[in-house]
Amino acid sequence: MESVQAAMRGKQTEPVHPVAAGEGLAAPPLDERTSLIGRLLPFIAHRRLEPGDRLPSERELAERFGVSRGALREAIAVLETLRMVERRPNSGIYLRAVAKQGSLDAIVLQAEVGIPLTETEVREVVELRRILELQAVRLAAERRGAADLARIDQVLAESGRVIAAGENLADQDSAFHLAVVEAAGNHVFLRVVNSFYLLSRTRRRHYFADGRRAPLSHAQHVALRDAIAAQDPERAEAAMGGHLRGVESYWMELLQRQSRGD
């Protein structure tokens, strides 16, 4: 996961500048790779390619997007890592059944390059987040140590400062939830949940743009912290459930408005 995030790091809004074609070129700048992937994915969608369909050749794609073959290979390598495409020897590049075979980071990639989730994907992400975080907060209450509470308290203190300054709470919100998951003591679990916070980064900034939501969210975080500190899994799960219901209702209402064209 870290390698994929590193590969995608960089400015996403800068244009891709054509590079002279040729072999043995240095790896393209990260912002170029990000921008190229951001153009490749809509191209695949526009072509209505189905799983198992063959993509145009490297040469054709490089010419179409005005980049070198080396730059194109770097972008395809990222898509291969995420199991979105597969390269078949002496045959070409083929689209995978992403919904079934793609990695979770494939959804993160779409968010990184500005491709919005579908309504179905948003609903499924919200549902899976609830499943994961309800279990995480129970484990946190059972396993937390002094260092975990200190980490959570530090995030809460920073959240209070941000709210007092009238700033957006999105970053502190994700930091709090990830600190809770970290207290569960399972780092693979933490990496999975981190993906959800990466792909929802833009949506959360919109959510907290309304300054009235931050104080309520912060108060609910404090209640969660107290339940974890008391090592009360039932109380912690109930607090997390109530907290998530408020956020989920917002996203479901937003989806309904979008489907109606409001």
**pLDDT for 123-159, tens place per residue?**
888 898 899 999 999 999 999 999 999 999 999 999 9
Burial class, 112, CB count within 10 angstroms (exposed 0-12 / middle 13-18 / buried 19+): buried
Query: Which has the closest alpha carbon to 39: 13, 58, 57?
Result: 13
Question: How is residue 52 written in tokens?
Answer: 């198992």
Neighbouring C-beta atoms of residue 222, cutoff 10 Å: 17
- HSE, CB side, 13 Å, CA atoms: give it for residue 153: 10
Q: CATH for 2-105?
A: 1.10.10.10
Q: CATH for 117-260?
A: 1.20.120.530
Q: What is the pLDDT of residue 261?
A: 64
Domain with CATH 1.20.120.530 in the chain: 117-260
Neighbouring C-beta atoms of residue 46, cutoff 10 Å: 8
Taking 70 as the threshold, does the pLDDT of residue 22 lie above it?
A: no
Mean pLDDT, residues 82-108 taken together = 86
Give the model's confidence band at 100: pLDDT under 50 very low, under 70 low, under 90 confident, else very high.
confident
| Lowest-pLDDT range of 25-29, 58-62, 160-164 | 25-29
Domain with CATH 1.10.10.10 in the chain: 2-105
Q: How far apart are CA 29 and CA 16, in angstroms?
A: 10
0.85 surpassed by pTM: no
Burial class, 78, CB count within 10 angstroms (exposed 0-12 / middle 13-18 / buried 19+): buried
**pLDDT for 37-75, tens place per residue?**
889 988 888 888 888 999 999 999 999 999 999 999 999
